[in-house]
Amino acid sequence: MLATMMNALFLQATMESIGIPTQVQTVFCMSEVAKSYIHRRSVRHLKKGRVIIFAVGTGNPFFTTDTAVALRSSKINEEVVLKAKNVDGVHIDDPRRNPQARVLDTLTYQEVTSKDLSVMNMPSITLCKKNNILVVVFNLNKPSNIEKAIKGEMVGTLIWAT
């Protein structure tokens, strides 16, 4: 969970460096670096044009950080979840075992579940599908990928309903 907070702060700094106001929120008290997650506060920040970055999960055992992001995003009627990874997107096969595995540009939620692709856990994918939230999976380590993803440029893999 601490690593997700560090990633959230890195993402916040990157976004603010290109002029995008952000707010990092967490369920744990970390007042020096983030605000506590309060649903109404999140909605207020969104109305003011700020991006909300959810960090450190739900605070409950057995739920991943992906589940927390999908849950929070669905509660505030978010449209897109950005999933930064250390690979270029969703591959047809594990790129560490198969260097020829190609990156898929787009996928449907149905394809993710039927092919059992390990993008996010199934509860997270189900929440995103049910709430029609797009998921963009991209490589965090490539320069300018965060900026491209934020601006809605094609980067990595887009997962959507149809």
Q: What is the DSSP letter of 119?
A: S
How high is the pLDDT of residue 11?
A: 86
Q: How confident is the model at residue 86 (pLDDT cuts 50, 70, 90)?
A: confident
* Mean pLDDT of the 83-104 span: 88
pTM score of the predicted model:
0.84
Q: What is the DSSP letter of 157?
A: E
How high is the pLDDT of residue 40?
A: 92
* Ramachandran assignment for 132, one of left (phi > 0), alpha (psi -120 to 50 degrees), beta (any other): left
What average pLDDT does the structure give for the chain?
90
Q: What is the DSSP letter of 103?
A: B
Q: How far apart are CA 78 and CA 132, in angstroms?
A: 9
Alpha helices in 18-155 (DSSP H): 39-47, 65-75, 109-114, 122-130, 145-150
User: pLDDT above 70 covers what percent of the chain?
Assistant: 100
Domains and their CATH numbers in the chain: 1-56 (no CATH), 79-162 (3.40.1160.10)
**109-132 burial string, b = 16+ CB within 10 Å, else e?**
beebeeeebebbeeebbebbbeee
User: pLDDT above 90 covers what percent of the chain?
Assistant: 45
